[in-house]
A = this chain, B = another copy of it.
Amino acid sequence: MQRRNTSQRKIIYDILKSTDVHPTADWIYEKVRKYIPNISLGTVYRNLKVLKEEGYILEISDGKQSRFDARTDDHLHFKCDLCNNVYDIEPSDINLQLDTSSLEKKGFKVCRYDIEFYGICRKCNKEREVEKDN
């Protein structure tokens, strides 16, 4: 399909590129409205789908919601159990060795795997320290 460059799509992509909070469609919608007040949520969803199809962004599922990420290079995610924020993790920050040959022998062709980390982020950790001090 022949794609057009619309201001809606451009602004949606710019906003997503400018943040690292891995926002939901609704978060993006509210931001875009500051530039295009009468944009519709449907347009946001449609453009996120297009940007994903074209490989500009990634969709990461968070329970029943979707979040979006303009970082498409190799990296991982850490989700805080307390504040629910999602943080980017550099591949260099973890040391991972994984051997799936035993799975392959059993007939499963492993094409990819996703690892997601959960725990307590730096910010929430610090806030807990403060509480302890009191």
**A residues within 8 Å of B by Cβ?**
61, 63-66, 78, 81, 87, 89, 92-100, 102-103, 106-122, 125-126
Contacts and interface: CB of A to CB of B under 8 A. Distances in A.
17 contacts: A61-B63, A64-B66, A78-B103, A89-B103, A93-B102, A94-B99, A94-B103, A95-B102, A96-B99, A97-B97, A107-B125, A107-B126, A109-B120, A111-B118, A112-B119, A113-B116, A115-B115
A contact face: mostly helix, strand, loop, or mixed:
strand
Contacts of A89: 103
A110 B76 CA distance: 13
A100 B94 contact: yes
B106 A117 contact: no
A125 to B, nearest CB: 6
Contacts of A66: 64
A98 B103 contact: no
Contact of A107 (B102, B111, B118, B122): B122
